Amino acid sequence: MLSKRNGFFVMFENLTPRRLRTIDSETSLMTVKKYLFFISQNYSFAILRPLQKAIESRGGEVRWYLYGSEVNHTFLQENEIKLESIKAVKAYHPIAVFVPGNTVPAFIPGLKVAVFHGFNSGKLNRRGFEDHFNIRGCFDLYCTQGPNTTKTFQALAKKHGHFSVVETGWPTLDPLFSSVGGKRTEENAKPTVLMCSTFSRNLTCAPILLNTIKQLSQSGKWHWKIQFHPKMDAAIVENYKAIQSENLTFIETDDVIPLLQEADVMLCDTSSVLIMFLLQGKPVVTFNNISPSDYLLDINTPENLESALEVALSQPKDLMCNINKFISETHPKQDGLSSQRVLDAVDRMLNGEIVNVKRKPLNIIRAFKLRRSLGYWGL
């Protein structure tokens, strides 16, 4: 709940004026701003590191809290510090918590900020709604990626009243737009095809295209790089590792951006990573995409894969125009400064310039499940 006091706003549940904005009465200097990254998946490291860099450039500090069995603690870098318990998190008392996932417990201090784990790829939840726009009552602020998602979230904010929306761009993409990558050497002079696939059994193209990709890689026409979602079925992963050759490499990484920069064309299905690739102005061939559009080259039989890739590599004018239009609607901010805009939005909310008209719902059932999963029953 937000309430005005002494000219600025405080979060009754998690923040006090002293924690939200502490000023030394003798030196009149702001104390170091503390932020928490709350993650449960390995891909979250690459998502949040550009934001960490921006925080540190402003003199702030970051702590990581890793939970669940699907995140690898060894992915932390030497200079990154994790907190080992919720008790330690509460003692740290961050002013804001950044979450590239769907939920975060209310008992953790700080403004709860959703920064998303990917783009809206059109996937539907069990009730038939787009999961990207599922409001779970956990966040105070949504930092959206572009107009085609901002408008929907703004309508939902007006409906619910307990969160705000600011279009900042996606911090994850800052390195994509601010660093140079993908330069060719003589050894990899041939075009590169990057294949990515979702883990969903109903949507993945990986098992269907395995034999076709093996045959195309053996032709030596292109170099193939294969990278799957971390939750991909282990048997499928092993099948692709088994067909590796001088023309095909299977890559396991928590940072896909260098691969996006290097490749000339992507082969995908309905994974949201295809959107990141398109934002570079590069074409994507999809297999049975659930919402095929004019900015994609969608096929539904393996026999059409080779010809579709050839068309994509030729970059036909109409296709490239459609891709550019898609970019303007999805993520027009390509200056590499999205992390800075996210921090500005957080400051504005903490300073009372952005105010939610209602308090977040109690979420009793979800709160119980989070406490149980985190093993925390304190205040």
CA dihedral 87, 91, 95, 97 (to 10 degrees): -20
Q: How many domains does the chain have?
A: 2
Give the pLDDT of residue 131. Answer: 81
pTM, rounded to two decimals: 0.82
23 and 162, same structural domain? yes
Helix (H, G, I), strand (E, B) or coil at 138: coil
Assess whether 10 and 80 both reside in one domain.
Answer: yes
CA–CA dist 374, 68 (Å, integer): 8
With CA atoms as reference, report the closest residue to 346 among 64, 62, 126: 62
Residues 137 and 10 in one domain: yes
Does 90 reside within a domain?
Answer: yes
Q: 153 and 27 in one domain?
A: yes
Instruction: Tell me what pLDDT residue 187 has.
Output: 55
- C-alpha distances out from residue 352 to 6, 17, 110, 355, Å: 11, 12, 14, 6
Is 210 domain-assigned? yes
Provide DSSP, 241-266: HTT-BTTEEE---S--HHHHHH-SEE
- Taking each helix axis from N to C end, the angle separating 317-330 and 147-160, rounded to the nearest 10 degrees, works out to 30
pLDDT, tens digit only, all 379 positions of the chain: 343 333 333 333 343 333 333 333 333 345 899 999 999 999 999 999 999 999 999 999 999 999 999 999 999 999 999 999 999 999 999 999 999 999 999 999 999 999 999 898 776 666 666 788 999 999 999 999 999 999 999 999 999 999 999 999 999 999 999 866 555 555 557 999 999 999 988 999 999 999 999 999 999 999 999 999 888 999 999 999 999 999 999 999 878 999 999 999 999 998 889 999 999 999 999 999 998 999 999 999 999 999 999 999 999 999 999 999 999 999 999 999 999 999 999 999 999 999 999 999 998 999 999 999 999 998 8
**Which alpha helices (DSSP H) does the chain contain, by range?**
17-20, 43-57, 86-92, 147-160, 174-178, 206-219, 234-241, 257-262, 273-278, 305-314, 317-330, 338-350, 364-374
Residue 230 shares a structural domain with residue 119: no
pLDDT of residue 15: 38
Quote the tokens at residue 366: 């979800």
Please tell me whether residues 73 and 97 are part of one structural domain: yes
Three-state secondary-structure class, residue 31 = coil
For residue 6, being part of any structural domain is answered with yes
Provide the residue range defining the domain that includes 350: 2-170+333-374
Domain endpoint, select from 294, 312, 330: 330
Instruction: Identify whether residues 244 and 362 lie together within a single domain.
Output: no
- Cβ atoms of 97 and 125 closer than 8 Å: no
Domain of residue 95, CATH code: 3.40.50
Residues 234, 363, single domain; the answer is no
199 shares a domain with 116: no
Nearest to 49 by CA among 170, 198, 196, 227: 170
Q: What is the DSSP string of 5-26?
A: ETTEEEETTT--HHHHS-B-TT
Within this chain, do residues 198 and 344 fall inside the same structural domain, yes or no? no
Q: What is the pLDDT of residue 49?
A: 97
> Residue 379: inside a domain, yes or no?
no
> Do 363 and 309 share a structural domain?
no
Instruction: Note the pLDDT of residue 14.
Output: 40
Let me know whether 35 and 147 are in one domain.
yes
pLDDT reported for residue 194: 98
Q: Which residues pair with 96 in a beta bridge?
A: 35, 111
How distant, in Å, are the alpha carbons of 143, 221, 228 from that of 206? Answer: 32, 20, 9
In a domain, 177, yes or no: no
- The closest alpha carbon to 303, from 215, 203, 202, 194, belongs to 215
Instruction: Please name the residues in contact with 144: beta carbons below 8 A apart, sequence gap of 6 or more.
Output: 116, 150, 153, 165, 166, 167, 168
Closest among 14, 62, 20, 56 to 37, alpha carbons compared: 62
**Domain CATH number, residue 229:** 3.40.50.12580
Residue whose entry in the numeric block shows the structure tokens 């969903």: 200
Q: Is residue 39 one of the residues assigned to a domain?
A: yes
pLDDT at 99: 98
Tell me whether residue 19 is in a domain. yes
The angle, 0 to 180 degrees and rounded to 10, between the axes of the packed helices 206-219 and 234-241 is: 10
Residue 175: inside a domain: no
